Amino acid sequence: MTKLILIRHGQSTWNAANKFTGWVDVPLSKLGRSQVIKAAQKLNPYRVDVCFTSLLIRAIETAVICLTEYEEICGGKIPVLKHQADDPYWHGWDKYEGDKSQELPIFTSMALDERYYGDLQGLDKAQTAEKFGQEIVHEWRRSFSVRPPGGESLEDTLKRTLPFFRHRIIAHLKQGDSVLVAAHGNSLRSIIMELDNLSEEVVPSLELATGVPIVYDFDESGKATNKIILA
């Protein structure tokens, strides 16, 4: 069976500082890199044909470490970032044409970016709870449809993540490719909500640890049949 491997990025420097991160491009911490190296060890028995990640460096770092720590994971191929020509900051990045038989594509997309936390980005979570009240901050963070000030709800995130998952990622699984998706807590919650048939009430409380792979088996019809968490 083909495999879908989901992994939330390793701990970032703002995870460590307990700050709201969202779309701020924060790198992995030293602990985060260590977490991903351990994840790569657990993924060593698996093989990946194609990778998807967000535009944010903490997810890209996670993908690259997973694919390069043990060359068996990508069959000895070289991971190559694939850019979109319609990117507003396009510099001809998509013009590279290498030996596709020796390279493993990593497709980046904002559809897999973390939930946008708006005015909360960069704020300390504990101090924010003291300022606005724990109940309202908990609702901003954990409800399905309530947005933080100037930001996205989990429902908003799902509306951009799921169409991409159904159109781009499922297509690879149906053609027999095993796929690695390195992304974020909320974009991955959106995907898992669909795969595990979770309700709107349950999914916001779903906890995804940093740097822990989740492996799904997929049949030929593109349906998930089994799930393993490599904790």
Rounded (5°) CA angle 177-112-71 = 45
Backbone dihedral region for residue 150 (phi beyond 0: left; psi -120 to 50: alpha; all else: beta): left
Selecting among 61, 97, 114, 167, the annotated active-site residue is 114
Q: Annotated catalytic residue: which of 9, 61, 152, 184? A: 9
Q: Is residue 29 a contact partner of residue 15, using CB atoms and an 8 Å limit?
A: yes
Active site residue 114: yes
* Strands annotated E in the chain: 2-8, 50-53, 78-82, 103-108, 179-183, 213-218, 224-229
CA separation, residue 64 to residues 23, 97, 227, 229 (Å): 20, 19, 23, 20
| Residue 91 falls in the annotated catalytic set | no
Is residue 62 within 8 A of residue 181, CB to CB? The reply is no
Give kind and range of the element (H or E) at residue 56: none
Which of the residues are catalytic? Answer: 9, 114
